[in-house]
Amino acid sequence: MTQLYRTTKIPVFYFDEIEGYLSRSDRFVSVSEFIRDSIKEKLAKLQNAELEKKYFLLAKDIVFNEEIISLIHEKVLFKNNEKGFLKADKLQSIVNKSLDMNYINFISKFLVNFASIHPFNDGNKRTSWILVDVFLRLNNKKLELKAEKNKETKDEIFIWENSTSQRTIKQVRVFIENHIADYDENSEDVDIEIEKSIKENKLLLEKLSK
């Protein structure tokens, strides 16, 4: 059975007695050491959470901007696709409308809002999902989406349904949670991660273009 601990205020007159008792057992550290280690652990968690929050904000600004969205859009289009914007002025509003400190909530909102506003003439599905995958890669995560040559997969169908506003933010969130994986090959370079994402999702992009 796992021993659970929690720190609390200890009356001064108990401290020596408790420390003496615990010091006689190999299972425990001294009270002072235990308290110090607990405080260090809590501080480390707070610092990591703060760093993660700052990095999330940084990665969000690096990826979710008109320049990168337009770059990805150009890269995922095929020769027969129609280039250009329908609503270029709406890109920032999509990002602003989707803002959430929880990154899963953020990208879920973004995918739904992007599909609803449909800012490009063509390639909206491909652009939005590659954009999200690149953002995740910069945060040491990635999307694992399944595509098959001779039939539509459940993943493809879900993306199509989201593109026609048949999916809610909650449903997209569950989908993301079920298709997210750890990614330890982060180059920290947006351009490189864009190329890697497009390459790994080549079949999916071809299927979504039809």
Would you state the pLDDT for residue 147? Answer: 96
> What is the number of domains present in the chain?
2
Question: Is 1 within the bounds of a domain?
Answer: no
Q: Of 39, 57, 75, at which residue does a domain stop?
A: 57
- Do the Cβ atoms of 155 and 138 come closer than 8 Å? no
Q: If DSSP codes are grouped into helix, strand and coil, which group holds residue 154? A: helix
**Same domain, yes or no: 40 and 115:** no
**Same domain, yes or no: 158 and 186:** yes
Would you state the pLDDT for residue 1? Answer: 46
* CATH number of the domain that residue 84 is part of: 1.20.120.1870
Question: Is 6 within the bounds of a domain?
Answer: no
**Same domain, yes or no: 26 and 83:** no
Q: Return d(Cα 206, Cα 43) in angstroms, integer.
A: 47
**Same domain, yes or no: 48 and 118:** no
**Same domain, yes or no: 30 and 110:** no
Question: Is 5 within the bounds of a domain?
Answer: no
**Same domain, yes or no: 83 and 135:** yes
**Same domain, yes or no: 109 and 202:** yes
Would you state the pLDDT for residue 89? Answer: 76
Q: What is the mean pLDDT of each run of 10 residues along the chain (210 residues)?
A: 49 58 59 60 59 57 89 86 67 89 92 94 94 93 95 97 96 97 90 96 94
Q: Which amino acid is at 55?
A: Y
Would you state the pLDDT for residue 85? Answer: 60
Question: Is 193 within the bounds of a domain?
Answer: yes
SS3 content of the chain, % helix, strand, coil (to 5): 65, 5, 30
Which residues have a Cβ under 8 Å from the Cβ of 153 and sit 6 or more positions away? 146, 147
Question: Is 2 within the bounds of a domain?
Answer: no
**Same domain, yes or no: 68 and 43:** no
**Same domain, yes or no: 32 and 72:** no
**Same domain, yes or no: 175 and 203:** yes
Would you state the pLDDT for residue 91? Answer: 87
Would you state the pLDDT for residue 62? Answer: 85
**Same domain, yes or no: 95 and 188:** yes
Question: Is 105 within the bounds of a domain?
Answer: yes
Would you state the pLDDT for residue 27? Answer: 58
**Same domain, yes or no: 109 and 77:** yes
Would you state the pLDDT for residue 14? Answer: 54
Give the structural domain span for 204. Answer: 64-208
